[in-house]
Amino acid sequence: MDWVTALPPEGDKSYNACLVIVDRYRKTPIFLPCHKDDTAMDTALLIWNRVISHNCVFKNIISDREPNLHQPYGLSYTPFWVQNHNSQQHTIHKQMV
């Protein structure tokens, strides 16, 4: 998972970034338009609504932007994830908390 930023604004909502998620199982990329200044909760909702509800639940999430996913933003993923997907067979990757 990584973001492509500094894109020219596009569309009705003036998206200026793209969240790129690669499904390692299916070997396919998923491109989600977003905003450069989206919060961690905005990103969690985007992933929940556009990826997990249509495809699957991630067993782990890997990002090379580890410092950006740590405090204060990384912790805001945890309550959302636990509230909406409380399962022991799926975990949040250690970089996410």
State the Cα–Cα distance between residues 5 and 8, nearest whole angstrom. 9
- The domain of 6 spans 2-96
pLDDT in tens, 57-93: 666 666 665 555 544 434 445 555 555 544 444 444 4
Q: Say if residues 25 and 57 touch (Cβ distance below 8 Å).
A: no
- For residue 15, give Cα distances in angstroms to 9, 62, 96: 5, 24, 24
pLDDT of residue 2: 87
Average pLDDT, the chain: 71
Beta bridge partners of 17: 34
Q: How many domains does the chain have?
A: 1
Angle, helices 40-47/74-84, rounded to nearest 10 degrees: 40
pLDDT of residue 73: 39
Q: Which amino acid is at 36?
A: K
Q: What percent of the chain has pLDDT over 90?
A: 14
* pTM for the whole structure: 0.60
pLDDT of residue 16: 93
CATH of the domain at 58: 3.30.420.10
Is the pLDDT at 45 greater than 80? The verdict is yes
What is the residue-wise DSSP string for 1-60? -EEE--PPPBTTTTB-EEEEEEETTTTEEEEEEE-TT--HHHHHHHHIIIIITTT---S-
